[in-house]
């Protein structure tokens, strides 16, 4: 590439990033430092070097290296796929990324096998680009990049958390009780729990990071005899994307997600307030009743706005039916008892 007059004096990595948008600036910086960028017979090893007018710069981009995790033939529910990205409806129980204790059997392993040669390389490695995650036992929609260009574009949208209008993320959750207001906003900073490092907690802002979640009460499930709200279904929208954000925020306001084994432990006794069908459905759920139901974003290459929806999975839907049916069953039993007394 020949350097134009207008580009003279700019940083080398910045000029290359503008000229080769399909490769991330961090990747180009690594190529410069690895000696893969030359001008004539000279190797340009300083990413901050000022370019000169009329220079001809050559970038040698090696073939992407094979992914380190091994591909595994794990069934995937693919909602959308093209040459740049893939949208998955993740089931509960599937870990997104290999880590300690989960070296195999992850979504990344499955994607490496599924996508194969269509992975053009993220940072020089043929691997899927993870731009956001869902907890192991949270189900729902998740987008993954297949190319460096898509990875850059998606990462920028998730970093903005929807503030620029491009990204939309909505969840559905069944929670104990119901907030006093039908809609509201939880604004509480999150950080590592001071005593239990595997957990997150609401902390002082100086010790954590800003986090905000908006909620709307969509349906309440009441005890037919007392009228007390047993549980409700919430629609939740993220303003930030912190680890365990929804689960911690809901527990913080006293309405943890049903079945949450970490942040809802103090509400185990609440299960006894459910009828037999509800207790069975909750026990069979075996995880938090949280689902990523809506995912919308601007396609990082075509610039088309895409929106995907996912219905409640069978286990959460079964629990919701049990909660919703409790009122009618209890009311019928109450009427039947009165009629017998007469």
Tell me the catalytic residues: 135
DSSP alpha helix (H) spans, the chain: 12-19, 25-33, 107-115, 148-160, 245-252, 276-285, 314-341
Q: Which of 73, 58, 122, 132 is nearest to 97 (CA)?
A: 132
Distance from the Cα of residue 71 to its chain's centroid: 22
Asked if 88 and 76 touch (Cβ cutoff 8 Å), the reply is: yes
Residues 221, 229 contacting (CB under 8 angstroms): yes
Q: Decide: residue 145, CB within 10 A, 0-12 exposed, 13-18 middle, 19+ buried.
A: buried
**Hey, what are 75's tokens?**
């069934």
Question: Which H helix or E strand runs over 292?
Answer: strand 290-298
Find, among 67, 51, 43, 62, the residue nearest to 9 by Cα: 51
Geometric angle at alpha carbon 333, from 329 and 339, rounded to 5°: 145
- Cα–Cα distance for residue pair 219/147, rounded to 1 Å: 41
Residues near 103 by beta carbon (within 8 Å), at least 6 away in sequence: 69
Contact between residue 257 and residue 320 where contact means Cβ atoms under 8 Å apart: no
Rounded to whole angstroms, the Cα distance separating 237 from 168 reads 8
- The 3-state secondary structure of 59-128 reads ECCCCCECCCCCCCCCCCCEEEECCCEEEEEECCCCCCCCECCECCCCHHHHHHHHHHHHCCEECCECCC
């Amino acid at each position: 590439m020949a350097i134009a007059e207008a580009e003279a004096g700019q940083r080398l990595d910045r000029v290359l990033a503008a000229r080769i948008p399909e490769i991330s600036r961090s990747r180009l910086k690594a190529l410069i430092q690895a000696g893969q960028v030359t001008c004539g017979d000279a190797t340009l090893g300083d990413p901050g070097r000022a370019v000169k007018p009329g220079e001809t710069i050559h970038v040698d981009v090696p073939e992407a290296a094979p992914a380190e995790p091994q591909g595994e033939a794990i069934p995937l529910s693919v909602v959308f796929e093209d040459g740049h990205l893939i949208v998955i409806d993740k089931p509960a129980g599937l870990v997104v990324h290999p880590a300690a204790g989960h070296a195999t059997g992850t979504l990344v392993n499955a994607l490496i096998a599924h996508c194969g040669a269509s992975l053009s390389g993220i940072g020089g490695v043929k691997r899927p680009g993870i731009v956001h995650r869902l907890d192991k036992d949270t189900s729902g929609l998740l987008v993954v990049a297949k190319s460096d260009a898509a990875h850059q574009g998606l990462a920028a949208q998730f970093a903005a958390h929807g503030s620029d209008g491009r990204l939309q993320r909505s969840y559905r959750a069944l929670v104990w009780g119901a907030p006093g207001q039908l809609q509201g906003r939880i604004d509480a900073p999150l950080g590592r729990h001071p005593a239990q490092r595997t957990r997150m907690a609401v902390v002082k802002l100086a010790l954590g990071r800003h986090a905000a979640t908006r909620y709307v009460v969509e349906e309440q499930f009441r005890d037919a005899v007392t009228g007390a709200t047993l549980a409700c279904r919430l629609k939740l929208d993220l303003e930030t994307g912190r680890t365990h954000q929804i689960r911690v925020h809901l527990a913080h306001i006293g309405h943890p997600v049903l079945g949450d084994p970490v942040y809802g432990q103090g509400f185990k006794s609440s299960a006894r307030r459910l009828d037999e069908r509800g207790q069975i459905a909750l026990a069979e759920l075996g995880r938090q009743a949280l689902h990523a139901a809506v995912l919308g974003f601007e396609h990082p290459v075509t610039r088309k706005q895409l929106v995907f929806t996912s219905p409640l999975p069978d286990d959460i839907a079964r629990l919701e039916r049990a909660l919703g049916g409790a009122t009618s069953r209890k009311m019928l039993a109450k009427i039947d008892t009165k009629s017998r007394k007469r």
